[in-house]
């Protein structure tokens, strides 16, 4: 029986993996969740140290401590590290830890792929950060890497930057497939979808967002790669392309991405507030529908990142109204969180303090 429970720790030829290899080879969702969380913490320190330098540089006008070129490389790296290295792996680590426990599953549905999803990340970020030390410098075009700044005028290292983004995307796609497979297939008997904790629901919806948009980002950076090395002109007006196309493709990924980053937090708050208010969440069903509505609407608002590039007025109006519409399901959520606390027997341990601040 122990061999069944401890799957992943047992090498059939040499007994359980020991020391470092126990972590390198693990298929245990708790180990992998822990590694994600430590990785996220390391990336917070790295990205955060860059933020400190950025703010110190901006403390007064003129040059303080870094050259403009390195400043631009650092802002690029700061944004990418925080989004793909700190925030997303933190929530994936939490998902790995919590989802199997919350649905009564023995592990994630695809434990070995789970291991691979994690180990792609140190490789991807090692590659990304290494660009800073390459001849010609690292990416200097911001975390949104707008063409033609990132293609025609980008440094040599842009090619490695593109490969690093591909690796992160592969990791995210596999992680999301694993979450969907786990939630749909490994729930305990009696755990219907509408009985799942809301953190599980928000992660299920987040996983669908990831599966939908990470290939778009992959396509975007692949078009960049082809413009740089293979003579295409996707983003080059001189060859019949359009730099605004880059913005459309990038933000079609980039806007759902910001919801990928917030929805698991919505789920965490939706589990913490009822616990510390000592009463069930108010409006559970409406919370599920609100989350799904936010996810759907996240796909039809991307051009609000492009209001100054000269898109048609009708386009600006559509994207403005669609964006404002997201306030409706989000307002439902805030109302439900507030209603859950109303007349609750609340105590204010750290998780509740964070959650109340989050709602405010």
Q: Do residues 22 and 9 lie in contact, with contact meaning Cβ atoms separated by under 8 Å?
A: yes
- CA angle (280, 285, 287) in 5-degree steps: 85
Q: Whole-structure pTM over 0.85, yes or no?
A: yes
Cα–Cα distance between 16 and 87 in angstroms, integer? 33
Tell me the residue ranges of DSSP E strands in 189-332: none
Tokens 């996810």 correspond to what residue? 295
Contact 130, 112 (CB under 8 A): no
- 360 vs 357: CA distance, rounded Å: 5
SS3 state of residue 169: helix
Q: Which DSSP state fits 298?
A: G
β-pair partners for 15? 11
One-letter-per-residue 3-state SS of 208-239: HHHHHHHHHHHHHHHHHHHHHHCCCCCCCHHH
Nearest to 214, CA basis, from 84, 337, 322: 84
Tens of each residue's pLDDT in the chain, 360 residues:
444 455 555 555 666 778 899 999 999 999 999 999 999 999 999 999 999 999 999 999 999 999 999 999 999 999 999 999 999 999 999 999 999 999 999 999 999 999 999 999 999 999 999 999 999 999 999 999 999 999 999 999 999 999 999 999 999 999 999 999 999 999 999 999 999 999 999 999 999 999 999 999 999 999 999 999 999 999 999 999 999 999 999 999 999 999 999 999 999 999 999 999 999 999 999 999 999 999 999 999 999 999 999 999 999 999 999 999 999 999 999 999 999 999 999 999 999 999 999 999
Burial of 207 (0-12, 13-18, 19+ CB in 10 A): buried
Alpha-carbon gap, residue 123 to 349, rounded angstroms: 38
């Amino acid at each position: 029986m122990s061999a069944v429970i401890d799957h992943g720790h047992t090498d059939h030829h040499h007994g359980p993996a020991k020391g470092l290899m126990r972590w390198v080879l693990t298929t245990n969702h708790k180990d992998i969740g822990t590694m994600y969380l430590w990785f996220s913490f390391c990336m917070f320190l790295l990205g955060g140290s860059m933020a400190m330098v950025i703010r110190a540089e901006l403390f007064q006008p003129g040059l303080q401590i870094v050259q403009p070129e390195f400043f631009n490389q650092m802002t690029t790296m700061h944004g990418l590290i925080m989004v793909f290295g700190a925030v997303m792996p933190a929530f994936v680590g939490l998902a790995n830890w919590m989802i199997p426990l919350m649905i009564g599953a023995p592990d994630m549905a695809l434990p070995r792929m789970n291991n691979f999803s994690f180990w792609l990340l140190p490789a991807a970020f090692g590659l990304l950060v290494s660009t800073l030390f390459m001849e010609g410098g690292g990416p200097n075009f911001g975390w949104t890497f707008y063409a033609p700044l990132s293609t025609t005028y980008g440094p040599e290292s842009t090619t490695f930057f593109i490969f690093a983004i591909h690796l992160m995307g592969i990791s995210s796609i596999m992680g999301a497939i694993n979450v969907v497979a786990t939630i749909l297939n490994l729930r305990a008997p009696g755990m219907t979808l509408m009985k799942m904790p809301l953190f599980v629901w928000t992660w299920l919806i987040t996983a669908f967002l990831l599966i939908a948009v990470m290939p778009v980002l992959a396509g975007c950076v692949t078009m960049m790669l082809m413009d740089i090395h293979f003579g295409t002109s996707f983003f080059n007006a001189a060859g019949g392309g359009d730099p605004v196309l880059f913005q459309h493709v990038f933000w079609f990924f980039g806007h759902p991405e910001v919801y990928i980053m917030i929805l698991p937090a919505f789920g965490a708050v939706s589990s913490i507030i009822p616990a510390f208010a000592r009463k069930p969440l108010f409006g559970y069903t409406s919370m599920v529908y609100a989350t799904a509505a936010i996810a759907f609407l996240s796909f039809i608002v991307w051009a609000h990142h492009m209001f100054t590039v000269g898109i048609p007025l009708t386009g600006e109006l559509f994207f403005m109204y669609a964006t404002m519409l997201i306030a409706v399901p989000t307002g439902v959520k805030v109302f439900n969180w507030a209603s859950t606390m109303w007349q609750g027997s609340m105590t204010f341990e750290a998780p509740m303090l964070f959650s109340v601040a989050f709602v405010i």
